[in-house]
Amino acid sequence: MKSFFGLLLAALLLAGTGSASAQYPDKAVTCIVPFAPGGAADISVRMVADYLSKELGQPLVIVNKGGGSGIPGLNFGLKAKNDGYTVIGGAIGNALVATYFLKAPAYNLDDIIFVGAYMPQDRLLLTRPDKPYKTWKELVDYAKAHPGTVSVGSGASQEALEVLHAAAIHDGIKFRLVMYKSGGPATADLMGGHIDACELGVGTAGYQAARKGDLLVLANLGTSEVPYIAGVPKLRDMGYPFATSLMYGFAFPKGTPKAICDKWEQAIANVLKNPELQDKMKAAGFIPQFLSGKDYDAFSRHSVESVQEMLKYNEQDSN
């Protein structure tokens, strides 16, 4: 008799869980962006969130938790209740790989449920037109002639900064590397003359300034072509050892019900088919591209593995 009631109770609990998942979401969902306002993560998440809110039938409330290359924000999101009402969005991979560069505790990727990605992004090295260097080669020559004086910022991508570090080692030069909480303050300091160059993502305010001619693009640190700016040389094509490309997407903490994760995966796929969203993303310099949760998980695991080689390479120097 006791076993019968135990089975009955378990069945009722499972039924209740299924019903709750079917009704999900019945209130607003908080979206943690592990970066400060103004960068590509913030801009793109807000853009996609407008359409996800309509698709899911409830608002997405964006909460920025910047700093620490995205690690504190990701940690905050992963500690949230796994009921589907706190999702993490943006360049999640930034935080995953940054742990290796910053010697922070590495993530167990089994603790993260990747539900889908919405765009890739390459990183660009930009400078002001009044600088004496207009190309990557001219920057390298200037850095050789003025060792240790060229300051290069990063819009919160530790991996991109390490790609530049590796390039400096390759050429025997020294950069003064500066990490920012997001692309917004990094762009402001570049435009204001507080740093000499800065790596920023496609689609950021710095990228838009380059499209208008207010900044120059010296090099592409990634592997794709730069939208609306033709002929940008890639470091990889110039013989440098490393490149960086990110995937932006959404994830939940471990234990979030599968039905909820599946609903999010389908919602992301659906909104990316919307011509209006596609046009908005392309106008900002973003390239809409859907990855399933499974593929986003595989991409993230590969990124974490690949940073190991670059980390070993950069240990040659303490630049």
Tens-place pLDDT, residues 48-107: 999 999 999 999 999 999 988 899 999 999 999 999 999 999 999 989 998 998 889 999
Say yes or no: 69 and 156 in one domain: no
* Per-residue tokens: 47: 């853009």
Q: What pLDDT is stored for residue 157 in this prediction? A: 87
Say yes or no: 237 and 298 in one domain: no
In whole angstroms, what is the distance from residue 97 CA to residue 71 CA? 9
Residue 111 per-residue DSSP state: G
Say yes or no: 150 and 239 in one domain: yes
Say yes or no: 115 and 251 in one domain: yes
Quick check: is 33 in a domain?
yes
Neighbours of 128 (CB within 10 A): 17
Q: What pLDDT is stored for residue 22 in this prediction? A: 72
Mean pLDDT of 169-183: 93
Q: What pLDDT is stored for residue 65 in this prediction? A: 95
Say yes or no: 81 and 114 in one domain: yes
Say yes or no: 136 and 222 in one domain: yes
Say yes or no: 108 and 252 in one domain: yes
Say yes or no: 137 and 202 in one domain: yes
Residues pairing with 249 in the sheet: 90, 117
Quick check: is 55 in a domain?
yes
Quick check: is 24 in a domain?
no
Q: What pLDDT is stored for residue 171 in this prediction? A: 97
Query: Of 222, 244, 266, which one is at a domain's C-terminal end?
Result: 244
Quick check: is 51 in a domain?
yes
The amino acid at residue 185 is P
Query: Of 228, 244, 260, which one is at a domain's C-terminal end?
Result: 244
Quick check: is 261 in a domain?
yes
Q: What pLDDT is stored for residue 126 in this prediction? A: 98
Q: Which residues of 32-54 are buried (b: 16+ CB within 10 A; e: fewer)?
A: bbbbbbbbbbbbbbbbbbebbbe
Q: What pLDDT is stored for residue 318 in this prediction? A: 57
Structural domain total, the chain:
2
Q: What are 10-38's pLDDT values in tens digits? A: 444 444 444 556 799 999 999 999 998 98
Question: Is the pLDDT at 312 greater than 50, yes or no?
Answer: yes
Say yes or no: 157 and 299 in one domain: no
In whole angstroms, what is the distance from residue 46 CA to residue 76 CA? 19
Question: Is the pLDDT at 162 greater than 70, yes or no?
Answer: yes
For the ranges 1-15, 75-89, 161-175, 253-267, which has the lowest average pLDDT? 1-15
Say yes or no: 141 and 240 in one domain: yes
Q: What pLDDT is stored for residue 21 in this prediction? A: 66
Quick check: is 3 in a domain?
no
In whole angstroms, what is the distance from residue 186 CA to residue 148 CA? 20
Say yes or no: 114 and 67 in one domain: yes
Domain CATH code at residue 204: 3.40.190.10
Q: What pLDDT is stored for residue 285 in this prediction? A: 86
Place of tokens 């190309």: 135
**Which of residues 171 and 224 earns the better pLDDT score?**
171
**Which of residues 303 and 274 earns the better pLDDT score?**
274
Quick check: is 7 in a domain?
no
Q: What pLDDT is stored for residue 102 in this prediction? A: 85
Q: What pLDDT is stored for residue 15 in this prediction? A: 45
Residue 234 per-residue DSSP state: B
The torsion angles phi and psi of 42, rounded to 5 degrees, stand at: -65, -45
What is the extent of the structural domain holding 285?
29-121+245-310
Q: What are 98-145's pLDDT values in tens digits? A: 899 888 999 999 999 999 999 998 999 999 999 999 999 999 999 999
- Comparing CA positions, the residue from 242, 222, 231 lying closest to residue 287 is 222
**Which of residues 284 and 211 earns the better pLDDT score?**
211
In whole angstroms, what is the distance from residue 86 CA to residue 239 CA? 43
Q: What pLDDT is stored for residue 11 in this prediction? A: 44
**pTM for this one?**
0.78
Compute the mean pLDDT over every residue in the chain, rounded to the nearest whole number: 91
Answer yes or no: are the C-beta atoms of 35 and 42 closer than 8 Å.
yes
Query: Of 244, 262, 285, which one is at a domain's C-terminal end?
Result: 244
